[in-house]
Amino acid sequence: MKKTIILMMLLMPFVLMAQYFKGIITLNNEKTFKAYIEVPDGNKDVLKYRLTEKGDKEKLNIDEVKMFEITNKDNEQVIYHTMYVSFPKFLKPSKFNISDKKHWARLLKEGKINLYEVLIVENNIRAISYIYRYYIMDEADKYARHLFSPMPDSFGRLKYKYYNLDYYLKMYYGEKCPEFVKKVNYEDLEKYGVGRIVDLYEEYCGN
């Protein structure tokens, strides 16, 4: 009985946190349907939904889903795409591993390049860590390219908000669009948000 109570206490926050938002799901075969959708955690490979607000829970594997969109509590449209993403290799930032499974990627800004935010869940010896990584992708890309991620210090405090952003912008666009790379600066991103990267790309190398 004692173990059951402890288990219920551990599960309770996750039960309370589950929210379903009105939205639309698009499958890989382009079929769409309206549903009430629970936004999945970064390490979940299923999308939970209900066909009616109080209906039974159903689920889809991430490999069946092309995208979904919801209207959040602030009445804002939020879009998620499913995609493979790249990870810089340890101590080799110019080399990448490509994920062997798809991730849920939140669309932050759409344009001739798209900017995405992906929640990555990492398990290590000490704890489970949740890291937001930011990616860009255009029509020619088969996977989203790593752009930057916030970097904490040894105490878990934010140390670098746009870690390695300059490095990857130069790698991807230094030769074909150097003016764009020069125009991206941290003050602009703080003032206008990270979507400013897409705006500057449109302005300087969107042709």
**Which two three-digit tokens encode residue 69?**
């969109």
Q: Compute the distance between CA of residue 29 and CA of residue 31 in angstroms, rounded to an integer.
A: 6
Q: Say how many CA atoms lie within 13 Å of 27 toward its Cβ.
A: 10
Instruction: Look up tokens 């990270």; give the residue.
Output: 194
pLDDT, tens digit only, all 207 positions of the chain: 433 333 333 333 434 457 999 999 999 999 999 999 999 987 789 999 999 999 999 999 999 999 999 999 999 999 999 999 999 998 899 999 999 999 999 999 999 999 999 998 777 666 677 788 999 998 889 999 999 998 876 666 666 789 999 999 999 999 999 999 999 999 999 999 999 999 999 999 966
Domain ranges of the chain: 2-64, 84-205
DSSP label at 88?
Answer: E
Q: What is the pTM of this model?
A: 0.86
pLDDT at 8: 35
Which residues have CB under 8 Å from 178's CB, separation 6+?
Answer: none
Q: Compute the distance between CA of residue 7 and CA of residue 155 in angstroms, rounded to an integer.
A: 30
User: Checking phi first, is residue 75 left (phi over 0); if not, alpha (psi -120 to 50) or beta?
Assistant: left
Contact 30, 66 (CB under 8 A): yes
Report how far apart the first and last C-alpha atoms of the chain are (Å, whole number): 67
- The sheet with strand 32-38 has its strands ordered as 58-61, 46-50, 32-38, 21-27, 65-71, 77-83, 103-109, 114-123, 128-137, 145-152, 158-163
**Which two three-digit tokens encode residue 105?**
């990627």
Contact 119, 41 (CB under 8 A): yes
Question: Rounded to the nearest 5 degrees, what angle is found at the Cα of 37, between the Cα atoms of 116 and 130?
Answer: 45
